[in-house]
A and B are shown apart, each in its own frame.
Chain A
Amino acid sequence: QQQVKQSPQSLIVQKGGISIINCAYENTAFDYFPWYQQFPGKGPALLIAIRPDVSEKKEGRFTISFNKSAKQFSLHIMDSQPGDSATYFCAAADSQAGTALIFGKGTTLSVSS
């Protein structure tokens, strides 16, 4: 499988701070880049997604920044809250080919109150 590299593996942020998680991909055919949030014992839930035609997408406190030339994208969580504590996965897919998402290894975020 084509790799999607995610960092950091774990992250501790104080309440109200900014959480930043980074991902890099290899396959230039990828054109769909979602972020998923997963709580223990639950399936992953789509948080926000971006396509290469824009460099940034914001939904509430969550922002994706996308750098096509560097093949990198990142998730920013503004005003982080204890309820944001979860595991976050970046992923990528070639949507035109209808292929499965390739996931990063995940980042465990802990927001301290």
Chain B
Amino acid sequence: GAVVSQHPSWVICKSGTSVKIECRSLDFQATTMFWYRQFPKQSLMLMATSNEGSKATYEQGVEKDKFLINHASLTLSTLTVTSAHPEDSSFYICSALGGTNTGELFFGEGSRLTVL
């Protein structure tokens, strides 16, 4: 299947700093990428939909000024957690649509963020 690479796989930062997570589709072009957040022992919750060349669409309750998403190319989307706080500590997972109207999503390996 298609490969989605996510980096870094884990990051520890101090409260108040910003952290950037990259999501790349390695062998296909992804016009749409999705960012999910997963707390321990919970399901994946959609944070935002990222479309190449346009502003991201955020789900209700997700602060767009805190979670900045950029999808500047067909193979790269970034999530920046700004002014991170301990409650932002979570597992962030990106995914990309694998093909036109297939619905199939390919997931990255996830990035575990710990804010001290």
B44 and A95 form a contact (CB under 8 A):
no
A102 and B46 form a contact (CB under 8 A):
yes
B107 and A34 form a contact (CB under 8 A):
no
Which residues of chain B come closer than 8 Å to A101, judged between CB atoms?
Answer: 34, 46, 95, 103, 105
B110 and A93 form a contact (CB under 8 A):
no
What is the size, in residues, of chain A's interface with B at 8 Å between Cβ atoms? 27
Which residues of chain A come closer than 8 Å to B105, judged between CB atoms?
Answer: 34, 46, 93, 100-101
What is the size, in residues, of chain B's interface with A at 8 Å between Cβ atoms? 26
A101 to B105: give the CA distance in the assembly, Å.
Answer: 8
Q: Which of B10-37 contact A (CB under 8 A)?
A: 32, 34
Which residues of chain B come closer than 8 Å to A99, judged between CB atoms?
Answer: 49
B4 to chain A, nearest CB (A): 8
A14-22, A57-65, A76-84, A103-111: which lies at the B interface? A103-111
Binding site for B on A (CB under 8 A): 1, 31-32, 34, 36, 41-46, 49, 89, 93-96, 98-106, 108
Binding site for A on B (CB under 8 A): 1, 6, 32, 34, 41-46, 49, 59, 93, 95, 97, 101-110, 112
